[in-house]
Amino acid sequence: MLSNQETEELKQFAAEIRIHTIRQMAARGFGHMGGAMSICDLLSVLYGKQMKYDAGNPEWEERDWLICSKGHAGPAVYAALALKGFFPMEWLETLNQPGTRLPSHCDHLKTPGIDVTTGSLGQGLSVAAGVALAKKTNGKENTIYCIIGDGESQEGQNWEAVMFAAQQKLDNLILFIDNNGQQLDNRTEAICNMESLKEKLESFHWETREVCGHDVAAVNEAIEEAGKLKGRPHAIILDTVKGKGCTFAENKLKNHHITVTEEQAVEALEALKKG
């Protein structure tokens, strides 16, 4: 459980992740704002509290892994990594520019701290399950975290990985589903309704819980509780808002990949700084 001070610090860290995510996209003029904003609170809890890592040695054997399978949310992950010292903050100004170390989607070969290359939706959970099995087989204690979108959960490959992880009793694997209710160009329920994700995962023998994805204390507690239960993989379904905390993106249906002007960025950053 978090102390009040820790909760405040993680809220502040989440706000900083949002600020630097918006700045990156403003420097490029466009980006995947919606799905990046919805995972900032989760990233704050992971990099601010739960994950074991060494920013100076991103390949450290004992680290926990984060596989952001919804690789288009890369800019939010980059903001968290830069703020934690994996690479210089100046890199954030180069998002998705020629020669950058920070491409629009996560790339293990380019960015320190990115554990797996992602972007083609549906594949990350399979990789996560494979890494989790390898760690378990080798008697390692690492936790493997994976983030997918609710739209992404429509990809059939996820469900193969879900079956495999249950069969292998991968209790070192925690899956987050960013259940923001939207995908690229419509509401998820209008494209292919996945509800109830909880019932589906439970029927596949996953230990599953649902929590507000913007409540850092609740997300932290869900991770801690999940870690206590042995013998089954864990899923945490995050109730989130696509575009959360970005004035010109939040609650808009068309906020997946948008243009970002300097004026919009200034307005959004002011709002975030005020809290």
Ligand X SMILES: Cc1ncc(C[n+]2csc(CCOP(=O)(O)OP(=O)(O)O)c2C)c(N)n1
Cβ closer to ligand X: 10 or 121?
A: 121
CB-based contact 188:151 (threshold 8 Å): yes
Cβ closer to ligand X: 179 or 220?
A: 179
For residue 67, CA distances in Å to 51, 73, 250, 253 come to 12, 11, 25, 26
Among 18, 70, 214, 244, binds ligand X (CB under 6 A): 70
Burial class (CB in 10 A: 0-12, 13-18, 19+), 124: buried
Compute how many residues bind ligand X; rule: CB under 6 A. 20
CB-based contact 27:95 (threshold 8 Å): yes
State which of positions 30-49 bind ligand X (CB under 6 A): 34-35, 38
Q: Give the sign of the dihedral formed by CA 206, CA 220, CA 61, CA 105.
A: positive
Q: What is the Cα–Cα distance from 139 to 209, expressed in whole angstroms? A: 27
Determine if 194 is a binding residue for ligand X (CB under 6 A). no
CB of 217 to ligand X, least distance (A): 22
Among 112, 119, 130, 227, binds ligand X (CB under 6 A): 119
Tokens 């983030």, located at residue:
147
The pattern of x and - marking residues 138 through 177 that bind ligand X according to CB under 6 A reads -----------xxxx-------------------------
State which of positions 218-247 bind ligand X (CB under 6 A): 242
Note the residues at the interface with ligand X (CB under 6 A).
34-35, 38, 70, 72, 119-122, 149-152, 178, 180, 182-184, 242, 256
